[in-house]
């Protein structure tokens, strides 16, 4: 395990489905479920499009994390966003979330552990926050491949409370690393 890689900037949850979530002084992560009191918590998929396809599939989107650096980048393009606005549960700083491999473990605060499962695919709901936001959260890589910047999704391995200011430590999986794909 490496020394602390970054910091939790904000924690958020939303009891109803929608894009934005409300900032909290702390959130409790429950192993195998997600953020207690959040609409996306559960063993099986809770994301509306996933439920429509197959409500019995596992929930790989229990926790949504976004790097605060995305908000900084978007601000230069005229977007004004605060933590929780894009539906994330945990806003981080100084962690290259998008560069993590599938299966990376994020140790948050005193005890919580989240396993990174994949990328969040920016959707048209982001344009409801500010027109053009969805497109601003998509880029192109050197080979023209799409780059999704709207954060990562994960599942809770070990529960615990997470607070703004908590340290984040990263544990990479053994063996060859698998790049993140949308989940």
Q: What average pLDDT does range 62-89 have in this prediction?
A: 97
- Is the residue at 183 inside a domain? no
Counting residues of the chain whose pLDDT is more than 70, the rounded percentage is 98
- Is the residue at 163 inside a domain? yes
- Is the residue at 176 inside a domain? no
pLDDT at 22 over 70: yes
- Is the residue at 19 inside a domain? yes
Confidence at residue 47, expressed as pLDDT on a 0 to 100 scale: 81
98-156 pLDDT, tens digit each:
999 999 999 999 999 999 999 999 999 999 999 999 999 999 989 999 999 999 999 99
More confident residue, 3 or 42: 42
- Is the residue at 182 inside a domain? no
Confidence at residue 51, expressed as pLDDT on a 0 to 100 scale: 83
Q: What is the CATH number of the domain that holds 66?
A: 2.40.33.20
- Is the residue at 180 inside a domain? no
Q: Which domain holds residue 79?
A: 6-105+116-171
How many domains is the chain built from?
Answer: 1
CA distances from 156 to 5, 16, 41, 45 (A): 19, 20, 10, 14
Q: What average pLDDT does range 23-39 have in this prediction?
A: 98
Q: What is the 3-state secondary structure (H, E, C) of 123-150?
A: CHHHHHCCCCHHHHCEEECCCCCEEECC
Confidence at residue 4, expressed as pLDDT on a 0 to 100 scale: 67
Residue 12: count other Cβ atoms within 10 Å of its Cβ.
24
- Is the residue at 177 inside a domain? no
- Is the residue at 157 inside a domain? yes
Confidence at residue 2, expressed as pLDDT on a 0 to 100 scale: 58
More confident residue, 130 or 51: 130
Nearest to 183 by CA among 150, 158, 157, 152: 152
| pLDDT bucket at 1, cuts 50 / 70 / 90 | low
- Paired with 118 in beta bridges are 153
């Amino acid at each position: 395990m490496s020394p602390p890689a970054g910091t939790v900037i904000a924690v958020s949850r939303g009891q109803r489905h929608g894009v934005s979530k409300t900032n909290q002084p702390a959130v409790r992560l429950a192993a195998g479920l997600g953020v207690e009191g959040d609409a996306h918590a559960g063993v099986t998929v809770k994301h509306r499009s996933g439920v429509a396809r197959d409500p019995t599939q596992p929930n790989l989107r229990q926790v949504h994390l976004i790097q605060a650096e995305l908000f900084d980048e978007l601000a230069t393009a005229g977007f004004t966003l605060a933590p929780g606005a894009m539906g994330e549960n945990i806003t981080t700083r100084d962690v290259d979330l998008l560069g993590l491999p599938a299966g990376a473990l994020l140790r948050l605060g005193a005890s919580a552990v989240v396993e990174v499962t994949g990328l969040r695919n920016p959707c048209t709901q982001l344009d409801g926050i500010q027109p053009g936001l969805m497109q601003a959260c998509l880029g192109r890589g050197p080979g023209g491949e799409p780059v999704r910047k709207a954060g990562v999704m994960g599942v809770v391995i070990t529960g615990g409370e997470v607070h703004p200011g908590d340290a984040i430590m990263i544990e990479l999986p053994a063996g060859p690393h698998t790049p993140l794909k949308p989940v």
